[in-house]
């Protein structure tokens, strides 16, 4: 999962899916180009999506010929549970 989060483009994809869940590859490509100035090929974005899916950070659903991508916050929540940030009250 840390490898998946290490790439800025993948973090942007997660941000986009968190804001607008259930996007197709075409929609993700369009948002990356128009809102973030990322001119990547569909194949490159598909590879990024594959890494995110392998890490459990997104899930996909096929409907007809379209494949929809959904953000899955569970793995990130698990990290927060494992290493909680405690408030320090230093004098």
CATH of the domain at 14: 1.10.10.10
Q: How many separate domains does the chain show? A: 1
d(CA 21, CA 63): 15
Task: Give a yes or no: residue 66 inside a domain.
Answer: yes
Parallel/antiparallel/unpaired status of strands 58-63 and 66-71: antiparallel
Task: Give a yes or no: residue 42 inside a domain.
Answer: yes
Task: Give a yes or no: residue 88 inside a domain.
Answer: no
Q: Residue 23 in 3-state DSSP?
A: strand
Q: Find residue 71's DSSP bridge partners.
A: 58
Which parts of the chain are beta strand (E)?
58-63, 66-71
pLDDT category at 88 given cuts 50, 70, 90 is low
Task: Give a yes or no: residue 89 inside a domain.
Answer: no
Host domain of residue 28: 2-82
Residues 28-80 have pLDDT tens digits of 999 999 999 999 999 999 999 999 999 999 999 999 999 999 999 988 888 88
Task: Give a yes or no: residue 55 inside a domain.
Answer: yes
d(CA 38, CA 32): 5
pTM here?
A: 0.84
């Amino acid at each position: 999962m840390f490898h998946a989060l290490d790439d800025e483009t993948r973090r942007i994809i997660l941000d986009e899916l968190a804001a607008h869940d259930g996007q197709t590859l075409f929609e993700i490509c369009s948002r990356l180009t128009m809102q973030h100035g990322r001119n990547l090929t569909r194949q490159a974005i598909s590879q990024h999506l594959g890494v995110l899916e392998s890490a459990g950070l997104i899930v996909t659903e096929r409907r007809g010929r379209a494949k929809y991508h959904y953000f899955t916050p569970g793995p990130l929540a698990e990290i927060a549970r494992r290493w909680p940030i405690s408030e320090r009250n230093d004098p």
